[in-house]
Amino acid sequence: MAEAQASLSAAAQPPLHPRDPLLWCIALMGLYALLAGWRLATPSTPYFDEVHYLPAARELLALWQYGEGAYLNREHPLLGKVMIALGMGLAGDNPLGWRIMPLLAGTLALFAGMRALWHASLDRFATLAFGFLLATGFHLFVQSRIAMLDVFMAAFLALAAWQFAAAIREPETGRWRLALTGVALGCAMGAKWNAIPLAVLPGLAFFAARLSAGRRRLFLSRRGMPVPGITLVEAFVWLGIVPLATYALTFAPGYWLGGYLRPSPLAEAGLIGFHGEILSLQQQVITPHTYQSTWPQWMLNTRGIWYLYEVVDAAQRGVLLIGNPLTMLLGLPALAWCLASGAWRGDWARLGAVIGYAASLGLWLIAPKPVQFYYHYFVPSFFLLAALSLALSDLRRTGWGAWLAWGTLVASAGIFALFYKILAAAPLESADSFVKWTLLAGWR
């Protein structure tokens, strides 16, 4: 009798709704923006791939200001360079203008990534741990402080993940969130083609969910997961047609970029024809590079890139792109844990981290790009750290493992502080100071 009454009492209790850590996410985003934005204008000269993207952005700026400009850096889509040019238009053609939009994009990527994991998992600890691990994981910090294209791609992918996860969690907002997902996916591809394997995943996930439900009216039924009220046909519009249309629109400025004596190469070839040139430029054989690497080296964090190491602004300075030595390695068993526990529980947050990692890294196993670099691991590292944050949350719930979960976060911050000087181009003591941080030969 007592057991029956206890069961009735438990059934009468309202369902548990975890409290949204939105304010903590905003606070963490603000602290990250301050940290990454500190001395953003150092170095005061272009470094690493800025030398390719800044001239292209200047031509876009010239198009807006004077009505003419050359089409440079054709091997990549336009949107990332448009964003850099926008920053230069707002803050001037100076180091702050070059890097202000990458900083804003990196800050958005951090916030959107946390919101995506919250809506996917409803796990407060994992959400905030993910933001903390991203902020101290080296990749995002370095890419937020340099005028390259990758951070824009990552920001739009994170925004798409946020809106797609929120559409599933809050189906009453599903329609406009799916529309935003489609726009963000198109923008991600418009920043860099590396986004393509991930851009197809939301549509495939929607189709797989409806197919597994066994609906008789597969294409027109509004019932069932992942977003009730949305038919498969409508989902195809938001997640298939809208991304492609948005991607096409990102090339609009290119129709007027041709130079002073001839029309735009985009206008000459047309959008589809021009993509043949982009593809050929992507596949061209380039001279082997000192810092080229392969995907096994990315996974094991054994090969980095010195974006900068020279005397600039009256001091020896360096910027090294590697991953956080602790969390990049801990993330690998965390992926295995998320795969096993996600499959066992039917937990799509954990499985999604694994699938996203596999899709974004798998591109580089088959990509016909002969020379690859560690910055191609930037997007896979997001999913790696998402898996680690979910695994740490599981560890924390065991009770005995709570100190390990919290200790990992503290250690990640400590290692970030240790490497800060060569992540932020801070002054170094001498020309051979790099040996303090290059514990592995592949980091030199």
Report the SS3 class of residue 178. Answer: helix
Gap between the Cα atoms of 7 and 11, Å rounded: 6
| Closest to 20 (Cα-Cα) out of 121, 110, 88 | 121
In 203-337, the DSSP E strands lie at 305-312, 315-321
Confirm whether 326 is domain-assigned: yes
Sign of torsion, CA 395 360 20 128?
Answer: positive
Is-contact 254 277, C-beta < 8 A?
A: no
Which pTM value belongs to this model?
Answer: 0.93
Has residue 290 been placed in a domain? yes
Whether 110 maps to a domain, the answer reads: yes
Identity of the residue numbered 419: F
Q: How many domains does the chain have?
A: 1
Among candidates 139, 184, 108, 106, which has minimal Cα distance to 380?
Answer: 139
The C-alpha atoms of residue 244 and residue 241 are separated, in whole angstroms, by 5
Are 98 and 88 in contact by the 8 Å Cβ rule? The answer is: yes
Backbone angles phi, psi at 214, to 5 degrees: 70, 35
Residue 6 lies in a domain: no
Residue 377 lies in a domain: yes
22 inside domain = no
The strand pairing partners of 308, in sequence order, are: 319
DSSP symbols for 308-330: EEEEETTEEEEEEE---TTHHHH
Cα–Cα distance for residue pair 220/439, rounded to 1 Å: 58
Mapped onto helix, strand or coil, the DSSP state of residue 305 is strand
Would residue 26 count as lying in a domain? no
Does any domain span residue 205? yes
Per-residue pLDDT of the chain (444 residues; tens, 9 = 90+): 444 454 444 444 555 678 999 999 999 999 999 999 999 999 999 999 999 999 999 999 998 888 788 899 998 999 999 999 999 999 999 999 999 999 999 999 999 999 999 999 999 999 999 999 999 999 999 999 999 999 999 999 999 999 999 999 999 999 999 999 999 999 999 999 999 999 999 999 999 988 887 666 777 777 778 888 899 999 999 999 999 999 999 999 998 887 665 678 888 888 898 988 888 887 775 677 788 899 999 999 999 999 999 999 999 999 999 999 999 999 999 999 999 999 999 899 999 999 999 999 998 888 767 788 899 999 999 999 999 999 999 999 988 889 999 999 999 999 999 999 999 999 999 999 999 999 898 898
Q: Residue 278: which domain range?
A: 43-443
